Amino acid sequence: MLSFLIMNMAPGNPVDMFINPNVPPEMRELRKELLGLNDPVYVQYFKWLAGVLRGELGYSFSSYAPVTELIGARIGPTLLLASSSLAVGLIIAIPIGILSAVKHNTRLDYLMTGLSFLGTSIPPFFLGLGLIYILGVELKWLPTGGMKTLGGDGGFADIAIHLIMPVLVLGMTIAGKKVRYVRASMLDVLGQDYLRTARSKGLSEWAVTNRHALRNALIPIIAVIGAEIPLLLGGSIIIEQVFQWPGIGQLTMEAILSRDYPTLMGLNLVAASVVLLTNLLIDILYAAVDPRIEFN
């Protein structure tokens, strides 16, 4: 409801954004009437809500295509980008965080922590533009944008090479934030009495760290990772614009600029669903990681 109200409070409307300024005012009013924009805001909202309850998200004001089709066509590329970036970020963050915790208060720890701050502080759009200039324009190693080569086959290799730079940008951002969480969680666990007991029984440091400490340290890490997923989908808006990736982020920007209310509301509904499903998944993973937690 708040999203719908805020969108309708924004200046401009879909008719003003797309119709030629020379069109007579009566034609504009007719167009608004056909789109239902002359109805009170609460009437527009309940019409949209009634459609949702019927499984319909309405039609785009700009392309007149069903919103479900627009989102369905874009959600695949966004999920591919987000999941690949999250995997790369965790592959970088977890080993570095563990190493930083094991070697805490050493030069290696300070170096790892400093690099994590660097990864967090560099704006993703700036890093993306830098990679485009260096790897795409100067060295010509990678394509500068898009999801596939124009006129190409659009196969796995073609998509993978286009995926490298946006995944590097998002993955480095995720890793920069998660290294400190992994380090802090591991440090908290490494000081526990049961680990000192495990060492006194002759277990190797590798077994103590990776078989016993890591599993118990994963509980707070899972919570942080779960909170990252909705933020990752939102943060991909900028990256998709920079790299012209045809996903939900790019669709969101197009819908904002065109005041496409049905598409924006559909995207908000998807985002809210992702948050709810992510929280459910986190609860399930808690029980999978920690045997002390059981489903009631």
Tens-digit pLDDT profile for residues 26-44: 887 888 888 888 888 899 9
Q: What pLDDT does 132 receive?
A: 92
Q: What pLDDT does 131 receive?
A: 92
Q: What pLDDT does 166 receive?
A: 92
Please check whether residue 100 lies inside any domain of the structure: yes
Query: Beta partners for 59?
Result: 66
Do residues 216 and 228 touch, judged by C-beta distance below 8 A? Answer: no
HEC letters along the chain? CHHHHHHHHCCCCHHHHHCCCCCCHHHHHHHHHHHCCCCCHHHHHHHHHHHHHCCCCCECCCCCCEHHHHHHHHHHHHHHHHHHHHHHHHHHHHHHHHHHHHCCCCHHHHHHHHHHHHHHHCCHHHHHHHHHHHHHHHCCCCCCCCCCCCCCCCCHHHHHHHHHHHHHHHHHHHHHHHHHHHHHHHHHHHCCHHHHHHHHCCCCHHHHHHHHHHHHHHHHHHHHHHHHHHHHHHHHHHHHHHCCCCCHHHHHHHHHHCCCHHHHHHHHHHHHHHHHHHHHHHHHHHHHHCCCCCCC
- Mean pLDDT of all residues in 84-110: 89
Which of 44-53, 233-242, 274-283 comes out lowest in average pLDDT?
A: 233-242
Residue with tokens 């915790």: 101
Confidence of residue 45 (pLDDT cuts 50, 70, 90): very high
d(CA 67, CA 266): 7
Residues in the chain: 296
Q: Which of 41, 12, 18, 24 is nearest to 265 (CA)?
A: 41
Q: What pLDDT does 130 receive?
A: 92
Q: Residue 133 above 70 pLDDT? A: yes
Q: Residue 19 above 80 pLDDT? A: no
Q: What pLDDT does 235 receive?
A: 65
Tens-digit pLDDT profile for residues 138-152: 988 999 888 888 777
Please check whether residue 118 lies inside any domain of the structure: yes
Please check whether residue 253 lies inside any domain of the structure: yes
Q: Give CA separation, 128 vs 16, 139, 159, in Å.
A: 34, 15, 18
Do residues 27 and 229 touch, judged by C-beta distance below 8 A? Answer: no
d(CA 203, CA 185): 21
Please check whether residue 162 lies inside any domain of the structure: yes
Q: Residue 280 above 70 pLDDT? A: yes
63 CB burial (10 A radius; 0-12, 13-18, 19+)? middle
Please check whether residue 95 lies inside any domain of the structure: yes
Please check whether residue 30 lies inside any domain of the structure: no
Do residues 171 and 82 touch, judged by C-beta distance below 8 A? Answer: no
| Domain count within the chain | 1
- Mean pLDDT of all residues in 159-179: 90
Which of 92-106, 188-202, 261-275 comes out lowest in average pLDDT?
A: 188-202
Please check whether residue 60 lies inside any domain of the structure: no
Q: What pLDDT does 168 receive?
A: 92
Please check whether residue 104 lies inside any domain of the structure: yes
Residue 202 sits in which domain range?
Answer: 67-289
Mean pLDDT of the chain: 85
CATH at residue 161: 1.10.3720.10
Q: Report how far apart the first and last C-alpha atoms of the chain are (Å, whole number).
A: 34
